[in-house]
Structure 1
Amino acid sequence: MHTKLVGASALAITLAVAGAALYPRAHSQAADAAATHATKVALVPVVLGTQERYFTGVGELEAARQVLVAAETGGRVTQIRFESGQSVAAGAVLVQLNDAQEQAALLRQRAQLKNAESSLARTAQMVREKAATQEQLDSALAARDAALGDVRQTEALIAQKTIRAPFAGQLGIRKVHAGQYLNAADTVASLIDTKSLLVNFALDEQSSAKLAPGQAVQVLVDAYPDEVFTAKINAVDPLIARSRMVQVQAALTHPRSALRPGMYANVRVARVAGRQLTVPETAVTYNAYGDTVFVAQQEGKQPLTVKRVAVKLGERAGGRVAILDGLREGQRVVASGQLKLADGMAVQAVANTLDEAKRAVPKAGS
């Protein structure tokens, strides 16, 4: 009987030792199995940094100088010295109207002026010699002034027959032909100064109160989606419309010649930046019940799991969104693959995801 008890005890001890030896291996295998079945996700940290913030508005580009070049007086076109779309200098002759009659009149009037000036000089000499009266001198002076007025009037009319560019810029489509008769105010072409562009846009009255002349703005146009143009505010309209919007005008600095007046523009005005928590916009799940993110968590040697957390969002900029409530700095959130996750599900971080995320996010205070 004693021998049987000793044998049973030895067997029990042997089984216990074997079980103790096998437990870590079994536990490790279970952990490996859990890791194998864990959903692979990309994790990024919640960072505290400076988030760019903007006032935004929609506007339109306008040339600082743009006119319809037109005839000041009527006449037949004898010369056209420009082509459609041509760039011209200030004062360049665009169209010459027939001025033969005025040129002939000018020759006659200049001769009359010369004669009147000679008569005035003789009369003045005679007055000094007491051979003529002051009344005769006044008449000679009036005749000279009248002749001079006729000359200047004809010269002005001849100048009107020469249509010039009032400033340097780019001409539009030509609207005149050689031999055509132009009436006063008939358009020759449009002229735009493409080197001085303005952008007119509107902001709500609350936002406009924080603007001032000289403040920089960013201008984006659909024609060049990958470029950001800079401008400076030169005027804020003091009148607030019934729509509670305020008109703002900014001048583009060194605009590209390809920009055209009339283009629609999205305008961003930088606000005072503040430090706040941010995550990539892709980390947020939007639904009717509120905005949420999946936060990665791990206790001890337990598998890495995710927890759905409700968050309150702030402004968006540069692919990131501010978190006003729900997260704290340093937590890791799922940046992609949320649709296949559920609360408490085991996950596995994709290799190097965290390092890549750190390089992708702005540094705190930057």
Structure 2
Amino acid sequence: MNPRHRALWLILCLTACSGGHAPSAESARAAPADAVPVEVQRVAPGAVREELTAVGSLRADESVVVRPEIAGRIVRIGFTEGQAVARGQLLFELDDAVQRAEVDQARANLQLAQRSFDRAGELYGRQLLSQSDRDQAAASRDQAAATLALAQARLDKTRIVAPFAGIAGIRLVSPGDYVAAGQDLVNLESMQSLKVDFRVDESALPRIAAGQKIEVEVDAYPRRRFEGEVYAIDPRIADATRSLALRARLPNPGGELRPGQFARIRLAVAQRQDAVVVPEQAIFPRGDRLFVYVVESGSARLREVRVGQRSPGQAEIVEGLAVGETLVVTGLQRLGDGTPVKDN
């Protein structure tokens, strides 16, 4: 057999041994070597905190605008603006010359009335004075005592003191100013702890209670969360908004937070320790539904899921996925239902 015939015979033999067919493209795709590399993660239970979000504002624990109860001229200011003051510390003192004179006059009248009452008592005991005259002397004494108490009260009102410890604001008057009764002098804020006022929808009523924890974020400290606790719930739902007012207390020992700041609030209403929690990147939408890929027998299987609570980078799956299943985390854009996959 010449060399050309021998080569042809070898080719025919090889074709017959292989069944006469070359490997198809479909079988090549099914080979494990052609599986799509992905990152997978086994679904494990995790803790999930159910939260309500709201916006509100910070309020001082105690806040007051200091005003005089009587008119007068300011002769002394006893605090420094923007600084801490103690309870009972003098803030403003008004000219008290007239009030002191009234107290002296009332005290002298009381002393005279007391002596008259004492003499009336002696005469009554000797039966030289009638009961009505003795009663008149007693009434005069009591009236003089009341007049003295009134004069002393007016004198006390010339000294305006702090009703509680706090931080004094910017004063609106100066020494020598004549102020009217009820005129604004300065604001005083207690800031060791703050109040947080916010509202939630009436539908949340069954899930809220005093003692629940909150987290507060403010624009001044964008990377920080301040923790507080709900202590009061308004018994009435607002007619206009159908919302419920809540008030929480927020510790503020460093004085970083200030009354009037805008606050974003997260209210924890429930916590589950055995929830199904997955990376948020493993979930993708199709229309108005959400899906994940689950690895079954080496292939990616499309699975519809229902998402519950979300947190940064994670999401709770409340339906469609069970603990222990293998979830595709990355490479989703190259997959379809039934695509062979391998862990990268």
User: Same fold, TM exceeding 0.5?
Assistant: yes
Higher deviation after alignment, 55-64 or 149-158: 55-64
Q: Which residue of 2 aligns with 1:330?
A: 324
For 2:77 and 2:238, the matched residues in 1 are separated by: 47
The equivalences for 1:1-366 within 5 A come to: 34=34, 39=37, 41-213=38-210, 215-222=211-218, 223-224=220-221, 225-252=223-250, 257-265=255-263, 266-271=265-270, 273=272, 275-288=274-287, 290-299=289-298, 306-317=300-311, 319-339=313-333, 341-343=334-336, 349-350=343-344
Instruction: Give, in whole Å, the separation in 2 of the partners of 1:58 and 1:233.
Output: 17
- Displacement of 1:86 in angstroms is 1.7
State the distance in 2 between where 1:136 and 1:323 align.
93
Alpha-carbon deviations, 1:215-272, whole Å to 9, x = none? 3221312234422312133234233534332222233356653222222331313225
Mean alpha-carbon deviation: is it higher for 133-142 or for 107-116?
Answer: 133-142
Change (3 A) 1:181 1:137: same
Deviation per residue, 1:289-331 (Å, 9 max, x gap): 53222334554xxxxx544433222221353212233333223
User: When the two structures are superposed, what TM-score results if normalisation uses the length of structure 2?
Assistant: 0.80
User: Identity, % of aligned pairs?
Assistant: 30
Q: Partner of 2:191: helix, strand, or coil?
A: coil
SS in 2 for 1:131: coil
Structure 1 residue aligned with 2:26: none
Q: Distance in 1 between matches of 2:100 and 2:47?
A: 72
Shift of 1:150: 2.0
Distance 2:296 2:134 in 1: 110
Paired residues in the alignment total 322
One-letter code of the match for 1:164?
V
Which structure: greater strand fraction? 2
Letter in 1 for 2:85: V
State the Cα distance separating 1:286 from its structure 2 match: 3.2
Note the residue ranges of structure 2 that are not aligned, 5 or more in a row.
1-9, 19-29
Using structure 1 for the length normalisation, give the TM-score.
0.76
Assess, with a 3 A threshold, how the Cα gap between structure 1 residues 151 and 97 changes in structure 2: closer, same or farther: same
Matched residue, 1:6 = none
Q: Which deviations, in whole Å up to 9, do the C-alpha atoms of 1:117-141 show, x marking residues without a partner?
A: 1222122112112233333322322
Shift of 1:34: 4.3
Question: In the alignment, is the contact (CA less than 8 A) between 1:49 and 1:277 conserved in 2?
Answer: yes
Deviation digits for residues 323-344 of structure 1 (CA, Å, limit 9, x no counterpart): 23333322333334544x2326
1: CA distance, partners of 2:48 / 2:99: 70
Structure 1 unaligned residues grouped into runs of 5+: 1-10, 20-29, 300-304, 351-366
Query: For the Cα contact (< 8 Å) 1:83–1:174, is it kept in 2?
Result: no
Tell me how far apart the structure 1 counterparts of residues 151 and 115 of structure 2 sit (CA, whole Å). 21
Indicate the residue corresponding to 1:359 in structure 2. Answer: none
CA distance 1:253–1:228, shift in 2 (3 Å) = closer
The whole-number CA distance in structure 1 between the counterparts of 2:254 and 2:127 is 73
CA distance in 2, matches of 1:180, 1:336: 73
For 1:23, the equivalent position in structure 2 comes to none
Partner of 2:105: helix, strand, or coil?
helix
2: CA distance, partners of 1:94 / 1:171: 9
Deviations 1:158-207 (A, max 9, x none): 11111111112222111111111111111111112213432222222221
SS at match of 2:81: coil
Say whether the 8 Å CA contact 1:87–1:171 is kept in structure 2: yes
User: How many Å separate the matches in 2 of 1:330 and 1:60?
Assistant: 44
Superposed displacement of residue 157, structure 1? 0.8
2: distance between equivalents of 1:320 and 1:134?
Answer: 91
Q: Distance in 2 between matches of 1:313 and 1:62?
A: 36
Relative to structure 1, the CA distance from residue 243 to residue 104 in structure 2 (aligned partners, 3 Å threshold; closer, same or farther) is: closer
